Amino acid sequence: MSELRVVTADLHVHTCLSPCADLDMTPQKIVAQAQRLKLGMIAITDHNSAENVGAVIKAAAATDLVVIPGLEITTAEETHILGLFGSLASALAMQELVYEHLTLGDNDEELFGLQVVANELDEVEGMCSRLLIGATDLSVDLVVDAIRELGGIAVASHIDRESYSLISQLGFIPPNLKLAAVDISRQLTLREARARFVEYQDYAFLSTSDAHDLSQLGSNPVQLLMAGEDFDELVLALAGRDGRRVIENGD
């Protein structure tokens, strides 16, 4: 078996494409900050879009930082689901489905903020005109199924938060939902989350920053025991298979 090592990751990061994120969340700045913090892996998860993922991957190309392509999808129930993928193409295929089901119109920049599409040099390529902060008309089940059909994994966002989480919107996590993990926000440690969500012990708990600005990036990292920094290893770690796992409470 290949040697296992500890990888520090932040798997829920917004860029300047998310209207609510800081304009400093550009590909170059995100990669530089992640390197400064010695993160081995980040996932880019903008609201309902993956348009900046490719630029962050390119910005990280000359570094040892691994960028996992993703999106944070708003379901019809107004819950947030992270879709993480093994390739940019899969994330963009998910984006295509999401765009077909984002039916509420265009972004209002003054009300919600700019949605900057950037390139790997931090140059502005344009603005995304869709209402990314809006909800799709896709149910949670459909979103999770679509992510999985594209080879991705679904993670329930910030289950401890009082808005846009499965628990805040539905009152519970549907037991049939094929989630790879549940995301715990900066408000709780994994130990506190384990104590609070006793009925969900079987899930992998994933601490993330949900960073919307550079100071938040990496502020609530997860440590993963893996044989390398790639998507397949991440899937194994969240499933707790072949010795891979999420390290909780420093054990």
Comparing CB distances to Zn ion, the nearer of 69 and 226 is 69
Q: Based on CB atoms, which residue is closest to Zn ion, 95 or 157? A: 157
Residue 101 interacts with Zn ion (CB under 5 A)? no
Taking the complex as a whole, the smallest distance from the CB of residue 188 to Zn ion amounts, in Å, to 15
Q: Looking at beta carbons only, is 139 or 163 nearer to Zn ion? A: 163
Stretch of 137-145, 154-162, 222-230, 238-246 contacting Zn ion, by CB under 5 A: 154-162
Residue from the set 33, 52, 136, 157 that interacts with Zn ion by CB under 5 A: 157
Q: What is the DSSP letter of 163?
A: S
Q: Tell me the residue ranges of DSSP E strands in 19-128.
A: 41-47, 66-74, 80-84, 116-118, 124-127
Binding mask 161-190 for Zn ion (x = CB under 5 A): ------------------------------
Residues 6+ apart with CB under 8 A from 210: 12, 13, 14, 157, 158, 183, 185, 186, 216, 220
Map the footprint of Zn ion across residues 193-232, applying CB under 5 A: 210
Question: Which lies closer to Zn ion via its Cβ, residue 144 or residue 227?
Answer: 144
Q: How far is the CB of 184 from Zn ion (least distance, A)?
A: 12
**Residues 6 or more apart whose Cβ sits within 8 Å of residue 158:** 80, 164, 165, 183, 184, 185, 210
Q: Is 78 left (phi over 0), alpha (psi -120 to 50) or beta?
A: left
Least Å from the CB of residue 75 to Zn ion = 11
Interactions with Zn ion, residue window 55-84 (CB under 5 A): 72, 80
Please state at what angle helix 88-100 crosses helix 140-149, rounded to 10 degrees.
150
**Residues lying near Zn ion in the complex (CB under 5 A):** 72, 80, 157, 210
